[in-house]
Amino acid sequence: MSTHANSARDAFNRIGLLIKATPIGRMLDMSDIMRMLYSTIDVVVHMEKRKIKEIYFDPEYKMQCVNGSL
């Protein structure tokens, strides 16, 4: 999957807003959407001008989302 965002972490917000814009997404809380995204996406690579600018990978935070400890 690809999306346009200003940073690797901002990609989660961007995807969350795209989900929120759908009919089903309107019924979901943004916090639930974000928890789902952080628990399902392992790595985000942010590229600029065909070069890697930033990599997001936080397995500890992902496990907190999966376990519901946030």
Q: Using alpha carbons only, how large is the chain's radius of gyration in Å?
A: 13
Q: Name beta bridge partners: 46.
A: 54
pLDDT number for residue 18: 96
Q: Which residues face 44 on adjacent strands?
A: 56
pTM of the complete model: 0.85
pLDDT at 70: 66
Looking at the DSSP bridge assignments, the partners of residue 56 are 44
Mean pLDDT by 10 residues, the chain (70 residues): 92 97 97 94 95 95 84
Nearest to 58 by CA among 13, 8, 16: 8
Using alpha carbons, list the distances in angstroms from residue 36 to 4, 9, 29, 63: 19, 14, 11, 11
